[in-house]
Amino acid sequence: MLPGLPADIDQIKGFLHPEEAAALHRWARTQSAAGPLLEIGSYCGKSTLYLGIAARDNGSTVFALDHHRGSEEHQLGEMFHDPALYDAQMGQVDTFKEFRRNISRAGLDDTVVPVVAGSAAAARHWQTPLAMLFIDGGHSLDAALTDYRCWAGHLQRGGILAIHDVYLDAALGGQAPRAIYRLALQSGLFECCEQVESLAVLRRL
Ligand code: MG
């Protein structure tokens, strides 16, 4: 277990393979020495914790972007809906309370800066170059394309673009993350670094 992780990390809600978590942490450790990190789709903060403990060691920052209203698959009646993360009064998914609790309990309040907004709205006036971008937001083609188009250009040279849920086999998962992965490669601006389970890692040339 990585130092700095809460003992109950496996109880934290989220969809992250242990090998993917280890890879995210490893890349975040090197990249956070060069600048801030930005994650799209923090959900309850599981991946954020792996990025956060790495960034904290370098005195860096993780911007954790999520509207906290859940992706398509988290909505009421959908496959990954979690009643514990549903605000019945508002009639909306709300993962922010759980996210904040997990970040605070891990002592990462000074490292992780939540950006509670949609991807396009948050990007509109963004100016800060990023050393690492982790895209794990909505998996509709529209959402994935928006995330890529709004944020990939903010990566500094040598920056790392990590994309979650990239599956070669459509039977294993949706193809929107793979579509932006291919878009990045085809742009000629990125080179492939590694693929760990469904986590694809590219470097901005
Ligand atoms: Mg994911």
Q: List the domain boundaries for the chain.
A: 18-167+174-204
Of 67, 68, 139, 164, which residue is the catalytic one? 139
**Which pLDDT does position 152 carry in this prediction?**
98
What pLDDT score does 84 carry? 92
β-pairing, 92-93 vs 199-204, is: unpaired
> What is the model's pLDDT at position 68?
98
Nearest-angstrom CA–CA distance, 146 and 120: 7
Give the distance (Å) from ligand 1 centre to CA of residue 115: 18
41: CA distance to ligand 1 center in Å?
Answer: 8
What's the gap in Å between 165 CA and the centre of ligand 1?
Answer: 5
Q: What is the pLDDT of residue 73?
A: 87
Alpha helices in 106-173 (DSSP H): 119-123, 141-151
CA-based nearest residue to 161, from 7, 2, 38: 38
pLDDT of residue 112: 98
pLDDT of residue 128: 98
Burial of residue 154 (number of CB atoms within 10 Å: 0-12, 13-18, 19+): middle
CATH class of 18-167+174-204: alpha beta
Low-confidence ranges of the chain (pLDDT < 50): none
Whether 125 is a known active-site residue: answer no
**pLDDT of 172:** 87
Q: What is the pLDDT of residue 119?
A: 98
